[in-house]
Amino acid sequence: MKEVIVRAFEESIQAKKSFLKDNLDTLVKAIEVITEAFLRGNKLLLFGNGGSAADAQHIAAEFVNRFRIERPPLPALALTTDTSALTSIANDYDYKEVFAKQVKALGKEGDVALAISTSGNAANVLTAVDACKKLTIVTIGLTGGDGGMLARKVDYCLRVSEGRNTARIQETHILIGHVICELVDQRLFSASA
């Protein structure tokens, strides 16, 4: 049992180290893009499925409430939380439209979207990214493995390439989300930090 535990921790650490080596510059750019959007009065839209939906909600809550410092709420919206919208869109149209229709209703030019898919191939995430492009919403992809189709569609791709283990990818995604929150806060509220 101990060997399995140690191996899981080692894999998680390696995934994070590998991500940082491959994505540091892109992560800095993504943080700058989100910071600039908030400064302009724009918002951050987040979406994904399953564990990625939970990550979208988690990151949105860190911005709307607070992360580590006391500061005003920031406009972040997880498109994964409105069950009436999600189920009506899936029922009346198609499940691949559940995020895209919300982007069209709530998004505007200058907003930023954080699209989360461990495989990079979730149809509803890809359709939402297409909707973002039409509205001139900057897109950041949080993905894993080879990045799938998402890697080719987004403006900024943050890809956890180490292995194909969804759990290790998701563990790295939430660290990335926390780092984004912390550094956006520092850039916007450095006097409070």
- pLDDT tens for residues 134-156? 999 999 999 999 999 999 999 99
Of the pLDDT bands very low, low, confident and very high (cuts 50, 70, 90), residue 49 is: very high
Read off the pLDDT of residues 52-88 as tens digits, 9 standing for 90 and up.
999 999 999 999 999 999 999 999 999 999 999 999 9
Return the closest-CA partner of residue 29 out of 157, 118, 164. Answer: 157
What rounded mean pLDDT belongs to the chain?
96
Does residue 192 surpass a pLDDT of 60? no
3-state secondary structure of 73: coil
Tell me the pLDDT band of 162, cut-offs 50, 70 and 90.
confident
H or E segment and range at residue 27: helix 2-40
Residue 163: pLDDT band (50, 70, 90) is low
- Name all domains of the chain by residue range, CATH numbers in brackets: 2-188 (3.40.50.10490)
pLDDT score at 119: 95
b/e 79-110 (16+ beta carbons within 10 angstroms → b) = bbeeeebbeebeeeeeebbbbbbbbeeebeee
Maximum alpha-carbon separation in the chain: 51
The predicted structure's pLDDT at residue 191: 61
Mean pLDDT in residue range 77-104: 97
Query: For residue 146, what pLDDT is reported?
Result: 95
Give the H or E element holding residue 76.
Answer: strand 76-78
The values of phi and psi at residue 39, to 5°, are: -60, -35
pLDDT recorded at residue 190: 85
Alpha-carbon span 30 to 180, nearest angstrom: 8
DSSP code for 77: E
Whether residue 193 is predicted with pLDDT greater than 80 in this model: the reply is no
Rounded to two decimals, the pTM is: 0.95
Q: How far apart are CA 52 and CA 121, in angstroms?
A: 13
Q: Measure the CA angle with vertex 174, ends 52 and 27; round to 5°.
A: 105
